[in-house]
Chains A and B, each alone.
Chain A
Amino acid sequence: MNRLNIALVVAVLAVAIYFSTISPGAMQSLQSGFMSMLSPFLRTGSAVQENIGSVGRRLKTLDELEVENRKLTGENRELRAANSLLNELEAENSRLRMALDYRDRSSFKLMPARIISRDASTWWNTVRINRGFEDGVEADQPVLTDQGLVGKTTTVSKNEAIVVLITDETCRIGAKIESTREQGIITGLRVQENSAEGLLQMNFLSKNAQISPGQEVRTAGVAHGSFPPGIVIGKVKEFRRRALDGQAVVEPAVNLAAAEDVFVLIGKK
């Protein structure tokens, strides 16, 4: 290797080391720009993959469609009735709050989103959704379905966002166990056999806590945290007593492999 080549290697390595020292925010901005550029190509690929995969599912008979339509129409009527009742209750609630001069509880707006890509990397459990900062999505916002918590947003580009799933070890959530006073930190496992059926671990519980399988686990809503209180995370599968504390193994409420439509909590209504 001649001197020029050695100098070139040193120069490239120096630039690489320089990049590794830039702030996480700047790295996220770079990634966001890159995602925006690559987004049309990745979306086309995802759409092709989805179309190929759903060919069998789409072939339904007319009878099946009629049954489904009847069921959905009934469900729609039921939901409309429930909704009008809830609207009345909300109005009544607001009136009473005003009468009592009670501080209004913060409520959130749900932004519907669709998962466009999943399991893209080997070591991290992430998905990409089709909503970005143009839709009001920001980093560290909770993502959920009607069944429970899915994860939270990390890097957000113009029309897309990366969501780190609750089954990832880096996604830490303050959680509490229903009908107990037990609170702990929920994380995923470093290597999930299958992120869909991946279990969660809840650490820092009391050693002598009375926790039994089937108890529901919800977000605790710690101060300055990403998650508001009360979102369902999953159910306790097993409780282990360790030398210093207790650990609960939790089964997620949402089937993360099958989830297609999610909601992003994008702030106060």
Chain B
Amino acid sequence: MNKTFIDLAALFVGVVLAFILQDNLPPMAEFHGAHVLLVPLVFCYAAMVLPFPAMLAAAFLTGFLSDLMYLHIVGGKVEIPIGFSIVYFVIFGCFANGFQPAIKSRNVTPFVVLSGVGTSLFLLLQFLAITLQRGGFIWEPSVSWRILAPGVMATLIAPLFYWTLSHMDRFIPDGSRKMRPIKR
């Protein structure tokens, strides 16, 4: 139980740090104003290393913070309500949790692929929710860029993120990453 709490606390810090970082990273003008999203990547890692009940708590926490961060209310009208991201991260987390054996055996491919897919899917669902609210379906090249480019960026960042966390293992008192022995 103690180990799970430490992991959840580490996830909370990681998600908040990811929010601060992605909030300060300017949009990529070359990619039609696409943003670098780090939160789905951090959650994807947590979903693949945490036990199922802890993953659900992580999904709730990440989704709740994500909804609060990007809640858009103009004139009393809510675009995407609180709860949207929670539902998304729960469903995505259930799927990612199934790949736990892969990450235990130090196979990083599912994590890299799921990070990219999870990030782009999150943006696609946000766009569809907005379209449903505002009406009239508009699809321009910049929409594709803004959905796909963050996914590609997440795919590129994921191995570096995994490598960094693997090397931080020894500093975490009792993290779930201890499941993977690191020989030095």
Contact = CB atoms under 8 A, between A and B. Distances in A.
Contacts of B142: 191, 193
A5 interface: yes
B73 A41 contact: no
Nearest to B59: A12
Interface stretch (A18-26, A62-70, A79-87, A199-207): A18-26
A122 B146 contact: yes
A259 to B, nearest CB: 15
A105 to B, nearest CB: 26
B142 to A, nearest CB: 5
Contact of B140 (A19, A172, A191): A191
A103 B53 CA distance: 66
Contacts of A169: 134
A145 interface: no
A24 B26 contact: no
Interface residues of B, number: 54
A155 B73 contact: yes
B90 A27 contact: no
Interface string B138-170: 101011001000100000000000000000000
B81 A42 contact: no
Interface of B, secondary structure class, is: helix
A49 B77 CA distance: 32
Interface stretch (A28-36, A129-137, A240-248, A261-269): A28-36
Contact of B126 (A12, A122, A155): A122
Contacts of A172: 75
A81 B87 CA distance: 61
A19 B81 contact: yes
Contacts of B77: 24, 170
B134 A190 contact: yes
B75 A140 contact: yes
Interface stretch (B4-12, B62-70, B104-112): B62-70
Contacts of B79: 124, 170
B60 interface: yes
A154 interface: yes
Contact of B27 (A15, A117, A119): A119
B32 A122 contact: no
A192 B85 CA distance: 24
Contacts of A119: 26-27, 33, 35
A126 B72 contact: yes
Contacts of B127: 123
B60 to A, nearest CB: 5
Interface residues on A, range: 35 or more
B83 A17 contact: yes
A12 B67 CA distance: 15
Most buried by B among A119, A140, A169, A191: A191
A128 B73 CA distance: 14
B87 to A, nearest CB: 5
Interface in B1-45: 16, 19-21, 23-24, 26-27, 29, 32-35, 37
B73 A22 contact: no
Contact of B76 (A21, A24, A45, A191): A24
Interface of B: 16, 19-21, 23-24, 26-27, 29, 32-35, 37, 52-53, 56, 59-60, 63-65, 67-79, 81-84, 86-87, 90, 94, 123, 126-127, 130, 134, 138, 140, 142-143, 146, 150
11 contacts: A9-B56, A12-B60, A16-B60, A16-B87, A18-B83, A38-B16, A122-B37, A169-B134, A170-B74, A171-B74, A172-B75
